Structure 1
């Protein structure tokens, strides 16, 4: 790192640290958007821990009807908490969120008990019952039904210095979204979105419920964004779905549940290595980095839950940008479950019956249509208390019914949680490999990333490097720590080393189609999260990236190191 680079890095780091101090002064801050993340635990605290009643606890969990292994959905959780509040023995209820060492979500339900049981006839609340508005955003809630308004704002400030290593004209060539990309110097922009909608759930009987939701998102970007300097706004439907759920619990606390969902709704599998981004952002939709849109254009999902096992059968049509719409449809089946107290397994099969997305070689062009994928996942979850080892891994293989294909992806991660050390550090290392195509074989071997994604601790591998390399033909080494200075704060520093799997990189950035080296670069990331409440979330991130020899040579060694920083606020009502 040159003297000028060090000076620039120190200036931005100082600004970043000052931004971290601001939340304490304003009482506003957060730990990142947990939406879509796997849930690792659901705990119930009665009267702040002063009470312990297994009957009450089980009734609260049944009303919440969300279990470890499922994915966190803010709106659904709010609806279920409204159901908990209507229980006869409950005076009030809320929940808090915390990230686990694997980046999963830990939910704690905080329940205040009544001194006397509430008569059901007097239990209804909401704006329709009491026009004063004290129950807003609940419109109506009683012992059987909940109707609630959603109002959510995401606002992000983002800054790039020497984006695309100062050579956007080279590294964004051929990108249909890049009409005026950021480059040398510093470019800043602001993006914001507001989502509003109505969601409801009603019990048809003691065992059957129906649910649904509909919302709109208005989003906008102002300033010199990563790919364009056009300020713009966009309004469109986000959620629009209906569903039905049948559930039962055994006398031993076992869970039996089946649900059917259809419409526009977000969907992902596990931590998102294959399916995470049900909707695209950026382009005419604006809000490229804050990613407010998550709903697929169409999702048909049947889900079975049997104690600790979950089976999903689905048809997914992601909501892609019109500039890059591949008309991809995915049919799949996913099975996962807890086979031992800390051991979780999963497996998935996918088929793509239609798509216009293309694969390129120096001999032919192939279509994604006919793609088949088989996936297996294993994890050793962190101990619920105390220090200990945790690990997870995944292996997937892609073939195609129309031509010879053998693409592979895998990762393995291992870490250790120190519960008896200040700041409760968790240290981990992850190795991941997404295959590239070897032109000397007759098979096509480049991994198709499909709709992978997520945060910087999921499958955005490097906050800057990902924008150039993404998740194909790449081998990544990630060294990461999770530090918790207080109950609400979390710091996540990362160090990345990126290498190419093969020198043939056709299908990636045009300027990097043939690599002179497998060295793609290194990156340092720091993310700070603070959780004020489930409805107030802030995230601060910074990344410093040095390009590897493969990228430097493609730029004729005329480059600058890339520095970015962002501040994101998420507010829900």
Structure 2
């Protein structure tokens, strides 16, 4: 009896999943996720202190360490800032060594564990300075100088990736990349493999003006390159440009009860995102002349003005964002916004954002002409119920947003609902979850424009890359996606994440998407199996691997006149900081 398409997809995917698990077990130091494998931007769920060799640290020591590290639960993980503040921990008189480990929780947030070795005797103040410039000890690199008041730290980071496609764009790049200015000689039938690499060099500093007020700054340069036939071109190329270039001031105080009062102001080139990136994540574009399309080393906006106010578990931020887009696709979009996040109950978080686009040259397409993104307004509401740490428990989160425009009748909706459960009693501590997401398309029979504008959404496959392959065709507009996912933890530094996706179109009118898919004959967009894995050797050395197998749905198959092939891709990715 002939199997159905669904059975074929699931069967082939399960065989490949088993093969990959065997391969991973034979290659224990090389695993993966997507290019977001370094956890940057992930929400910090908790920060713990662990004393080495059975040492018994007092609550006074623990409080002093957390105050010096000053990375609070609810904030976004920033490796540069965490390493800067780690040097402040090392300056404490009773600390001999300090480091931290990082892992993900059941719902994908970050858990930081500070590993502290206590000193046998308090360090004299005269000997407290450390770093290459203080004592010539290159073993302390990238710390150049650190004392009680100042930190100067270098950044040397390499991201390298090998990526392979088999039958990219379902073997029909001639149709599915039509009109894309980056698609010079895109991958298609057969297999293509290429290599990407980038090196980032930078300097970051923090200086205390008073006990509560500090100034900070950072600057870096990235050189990136691609070699071999990549997704959109077979031209090898390299590019060097400025990445970070920012400065700011921060005022922080803590109450006797451990409460946090903080204000900060920042200006310059720096990465920025809101929550998990459903609306804002990609502050910078990669690919094109910049190369490194898949490893995404560039994250800094062209210009960011950011003010933030923290009161205990509540955060309010005001921002102005000019994303750093490619020349070929620069929409000249500017964004102004206000965002709030807060812990309103021990396990309940609330978030809300209001966003405006005062300037843009990006266009929306309709049967009657084009409309402009300029004047776009976004109202966004988020809710999350977090599982208790260390317990088998349920978690859930949701986000819903509405887009309108000051210049014409627009009503687009986007959002998701996700629920999961972690079972700590089972081997590998599995978490099982389901996410339903919907981003509306435009109904041409109404005078209102309803197609969701994805703006600058992005992130890893856990976030808003919905299907490692399918995202390159469908993205996050006029799509309904069902995601079935599990997180597995075979060892403390390992994480495996299998996913199964089902994609549907919200409307058959798909103007604004791929040109060949402008009018759909079915709402079935396809299915995809992903496997991601991550091995964190240490916070500054992470290995990432990913694979995806995608079968197009009837909507895509009919647009291709049933001349298609199923799409397979795989990548190996390394992030190394020195």
Contact persistence 1:197–1:215 (CA under 8 A): yes
Q: Which residue of 1 aligns with 2:63?
A: 58
Q: What is the Cα-based RMSD across aligned positions, in Å?
A: 1.7
Q: Which residue of 1 aligns with 2:187?
A: 182
Please report how far the alpha carbon of residue 277 of structure 1 lies from its aligned counterpart in structure 2 after TM superposition.
0.4
2:270 is the counterpart of 1:270: no
- SS of aligned partner of 1:404: strand
Matched ranges for 1:351-390 at <5 A: 351-390=356-395
2:251 is the counterpart of 1:224: no
Aligned equivalents of 1:245 and 1:8: distance in 2? Answer: 53
Q: Which residue of 2 aligns with 1:308?
A: 313
Structure 2 residue corresponding to 1:498, chosen from 500, 503, 506: 503
2:543 is the counterpart of 1:543: no
Q: Which residue of 1 aligns with 2:197?
A: 192
Matched ranges for 1:141-540 at <5 A: 141-540=146-545
Please report how far the alpha carbon of residue 410 of structure 1 lies from its aligned counterpart in structure 2 after TM superposition.
1.2
Contact persistence 2:55–2:118 (CA under 8 A): no
- SS of aligned partner of 1:405: strand
Residues 409-430 of structure 1, C-alpha deviation per residue, up to 9 Å, x if partnerless?
0100001011121110000000
Aligned equivalents of 2:439 and 2:129: distance in 1? Answer: 53
Count of residue pairs the alignment pairs up: 571
Aligned equivalents of 1:11 and 1:285: distance in 2? Answer: 37
2:133 is the counterpart of 1:128: yes
2:24 is the counterpart of 1:20: yes
**Uncovered stretches (5+) of structure 2, i.e. residues with no partner:** none
Aligned equivalents of 2:476 and 2:264: distance in 1? Answer: 33
Please report how far the alpha carbon of residue 106 of structure 1 lies from its aligned counterpart in structure 2 after TM superposition.
0.8
Please report how far the alpha carbon of residue 69 of structure 1 lies from its aligned counterpart in structure 2 after TM superposition.
1.3
- SS of aligned partner of 2:134: coil
Aligned equivalents of 1:23 and 1:271: distance in 2? Answer: 31
Contact persistence 2:478–2:506 (CA under 8 A): yes
Residues 478-501 of structure 1, C-alpha deviation per residue, up to 9 Å, x if partnerless?
000000111111110000000000
Aligned equivalents of 1:509 and 1:286: distance in 2? Answer: 22
- SS of aligned partner of 2:160: strand
**Uncovered stretches (5+) of structure 1, i.e. residues with no partner:** none
Runs of 4+ in 1 over 2 A off after TM superposition: 1-24, 27-32, 46-50
Q: Give me the TM-score of the superposition, normalised by structure 2.
A: 0.96
Q: Give me the TM-score of the superposition, normalised by structure 1.
A: 0.97
- SS of aligned partner of 1:235: strand
Residues 512-563 of structure 1, C-alpha deviation per residue, up to 9 Å, x if partnerless?
0000000000000000111110011011111000000000000000000000
Aligned equivalents of 2:558 and 2:222: distance in 1? Answer: 43
Please report how far the alpha carbon of residue 13 of structure 1 lies from its aligned counterpart in structure 2 after TM superposition.
5.8
Residues 36-83 of structure 1, C-alpha deviation per residue, up to 9 Å, x if partnerless?
111111111123564242111111111111111111111111000011
2:572 is the counterpart of 1:567: yes
Contact persistence 1:30–1:489 (CA under 8 A): no
Aligned equivalents of 2:345 and 2:8: distance in 1? Answer: 54
Aligned equivalents of 2:12 and 2:430: distance in 1? Answer: 29
Please report how far the alpha carbon of residue 12 of structure 1 lies from its aligned counterpart in structure 2 after TM superposition.
6.5
